[in-house]
Chain A
């Protein structure tokens, strides 16, 4: 068996040492080089005065990736980057995120997108992504709810593929009802649960006596009236 490379004892001051799982530390040089590429990529899109990628930059990134600005994969990217503010990527977010993805160039990033999709769709991640999608829309400080228009778009984006019929009906309903002008986090998370648990379109196993948010009770009533 070839001898293992020993851990370097001294670590250069400015860069953080990253130890991979098998005990080898990434060589400084290689790391710095990798970071450099990532950084450079960042700078390509960043707004220099802000020090971060702004909406314009993201648009440009999208164009380069060949992905539409409104594509759900950008949202997934934001999720992966753990981006806090909608429309902006900070340097740290960019660095950590791309590192997670294991990419350091545009082409690699492009190639990583399908894998990212699969990762998001994993049951263990999906709910987290779904909730993230909502929070990402809370742009103002102390904002707790999102307006109906945006919610409809978000639903389409996030749930549209997996739950097309539910999303279509729900969006239609949200647009015609006027009990609620905004949707809060509790209602949002229950939309997903609704899609997952309730059989559609018969709604046979929906029980209004359970703790579904009122908006869903009203939605079901509206659906049932339509169907009869």
Chain B
């Protein structure tokens, strides 16, 4: 072999000489046109896809795209015009069916045509910025069918008619509706909206306007709301089944507006069935329905809330200012608790526990509970009743529940310091008479109060408990040191620290000799171990158990107050005593003595004494004897317990006065605290700050605050600024 020379192979394209027949385009077009006809005439099976595609391809290739496209437009338009006529010709209900059928046909045809003309779709059309085939097909359908004069309005009215029929209870062909609507959607959202949705919404509004008017004339609130709910759900279902999901919000708005918003006020205030009636009758279902429906419209919930609030305030106001209910404090508080429970349940069950409703409930309670100035006292009495007997046998959890509810009421009080005063009094009585049902319950409540109000509030109360405990230990020590006293009367002393317990005046009372001696022994024992202290006997708070034998030999154990004991012991040495003699011997103050004698001589079942004359009142000339004929079913007879009672008017005034007095130093302390840190502050701000600081205890009166400020100025803690009279200055 010789040298192989590298030579470049040049491969040349095979130039196929294409002879462009001048009639080529026309011929090719005719083939395609024919094909389109056939497709529309359901004769596509006889066509060769490959051949048609190639033809279209060649046309475009040879720059006859324009002809192809315009031919397509013309042909398709012509066909659509035919179709339009046939649709128009359809009678009655068949109209929609025909339209649908033709639409399906058109779609199928369109797809085939598009496939055939795909090359054009991809090259010529983008280049010349013409509408792609598929879209073109839709647009032509829209323009020639949907927007054709005869079809457009008929289509709309047919659709609306069907919707209306369905609303009035007929069953319609939903599939047909769905397809028709889908067609409109496919044609473009503006077609759907303009040709259907807008009129649909208008007609619906009209429909619901009429319907709601009809209902509201004949239905009560609950029924109306049921109907409204049903309609609303229907519309939502309708959307799901055959309308565009984007229409849901719009149609529900229409229903909400026509059926709910427009009639809201009338519904809420409907006589005998409106919101107030539902609240009164605990109609949870109706209330829940109202809540859910009104939630959908602006101001719906606030309307419910406002009506509920004003009703609650009104009811509450009547509750607390009702003279009858004020007679029994426990009843009074129980009714408040019941009312609160009721509304709590309503809000929980029907108003989905919404915070705004909870707040409305709380503010209403706060409003009316403070309308009665005795509320603090009554709440304390309620607690007292529970802790004495009401909680007997109640489980620990239930005790907690009740106490928590009481705390809720407590929180509403503006004058918490008044409550504190009464609570202290009542607690003292409970502790001293040993009448508390559960120590744990007592402590639990103290803890709750401490959490709510801080250490200051409860420190004295806790001091009281401590005293009780310490006293027990002291008594043990006393008897341990004096074993010789084990034979005599048993003394139980409770040593109370003055600051912690409610102040009591020391009243005179002569104890029987045995007791007096015993008490003296205790006093020396106590002072022996606690130097620098002073003891004063509180004879008005003590009790005694004495064994008595009556004329016919009946033996009883009498549980009496210390005063009563002093009186009874006198009869160990005398058969007959006049009032004056008793008074002299015991030195008990007249009013207390009279009460004491009354409880022993005038009360059936407790009349261990006999009085002459037998009148109900104690006169200074009365004479007293032991009632030898005294009988009782029980061995142990309780006479005159020191029970906490609702205060009498003068007592109430006295307590109120003491509270006012106690407030003065608190206000002053607050003023000084504020001025010390601010140095200079104007009048209105001082008032505001002081009020805020004292809020947790009581509502400070601006006039009172002013008085305190003036007092502080006089005592040179503060001064007025020399230029601006409204400014106060702290004087260090």
Contact = CB atoms under 8 A, between A and B. Distances in A.
Contacts of B703: 214, 217
Contacts of A210: 683-684, 725-726
B172 to A, nearest CB: 72
B684 A186 contact: no
Interface in A151-186: 184-186
9 contacts: A144-B714, A186-B710, A186-B720, A190-B725, A193-B725, A209-B683, A212-B725, A214-B706, A214-B707
Given A214-B706, A214-B707, A186 B713 contact: yes
Interface residues of B, number: 15
Interface in B462-484: none
Interface in B625-641: none
B723 to A, nearest CB: 11
B579 interface: no
A211 interface: yes
Given A144-B714, A184-B714, A186-B720, A211 B726 contact: yes
B728 interface: yes
A212 B714 CA distance: 14
Contacts of B683: 209-211
Contacts of A193: 725
Contacts of B706: 211, 213-214, 217
Interface of A: 144-145, 184-187, 190, 193, 209-214, 217
Contacts of B684: 209-210
A104 to B, nearest CB: 36
A186 B728 CA distance: 12
A211 B724 CA distance: 10
A190 B682 CA distance: 16
A211 B725 contact: yes
Contacts of B714: 144-145, 184-186
B707 A211 contact: no
Nearest to A213: B710
Contacts of A217: 703, 706
A122 to B, nearest CB: 18
A213 B728 CA distance: 12
A214 B682 CA distance: 16
B129 to A, nearest CB: 78
A152 B678 CA distance: 37
Contacts of B709: 211
B234 to A, nearest CB: 60
A120 B720 CA distance: 24
A24 to B, nearest CB: 38
A211 B727 CA distance: 8
Contacts of B707: 214
A154 to B, nearest CB: 18
Given A184-B710, A209-B683, A211-B682, 9 more contacts: A190-B725, A193-B725, A210-B684, A211-B720, A211-B725, A211-B727, A212-B725, A217-B703, A217-B706
Interface string B714-732: 1000001000011110000
A164 B145 CA distance: 101
A212 B683 CA distance: 9
Of all A-B residue pairs in the complex, the 9 with the closest CB atoms, nearest first, are A211-B683, A211-B726, A186-B713, A184-B714, A214-B706, A210-B726, A214-B707, A213-B710, A193-B725
A212 B727 CA distance: 11
A170 to B, nearest CB: 17
A213 B703 CA distance: 10
Nearest to B724: A211
B713 A211 contact: no
A209 B702 CA distance: 9
A187 B703 CA distance: 16
Residue from A185, A186, A187, A217 with most neighbouring chain B CB atoms (10 Å): A186
Contacts of A211: 682-683, 706, 709, 720, 725-728
A127 to B, nearest CB: 9
Contacts of A212: 725
A2 B520 CA distance: 104
A223 B519 CA distance: 63
Contacts of A185: 714
Nearest to A212: B725
A119 B707 CA distance: 36
A143 to B, nearest CB: 12
Contacts of A184: 710, 713-714
A210 to B, nearest CB: 6
A144 B712 CA distance: 13
A190 B684 CA distance: 18
A145 B711 CA distance: 12
B725 A214 contact: no
Nearest to A197: B725
Interface string B681-712: 01110000000000000000001001101100
A185 B714 CA distance: 8
Nearest to B718: A186
A187 B725 CA distance: 12
A211 B682 CA distance: 8
A82 B87 CA distance: 119
Nearest to B711: A184
A144 B710 CA distance: 13
A217 B710 CA distance: 13
Nearest to B710: A213
A145 B710 CA distance: 13
A210 B706 CA distance: 10
Contacts of A209: 683-684
A180 to B, nearest CB: 10
Contacts of A144: 714
Contacts of B726: 210-211
Contacts of A213: 706, 710
Contacts of A214: 703, 706-707, 710
Nearest to A144: B714
Contacts of A190: 725
A213 B710 CA distance: 7
Interface string B344-386: 0000000000000000000000000000000000000000000
A155 B710 CA distance: 21
A186 B731 CA distance: 15
A212 to B, nearest CB: 8
B206 to A, nearest CB: 57
A193 B713 CA distance: 17
Nearest to A185: B714
Nearest to A190: B725
Residue from B709, B710, B713 with most neighbouring chain A CB atoms (10 Å): B710
A218 to B, nearest CB: 10
A213 B707 CA distance: 8
A109 to B, nearest CB: 33
A214 B709 CA distance: 10
Contacts of B713: 184, 186
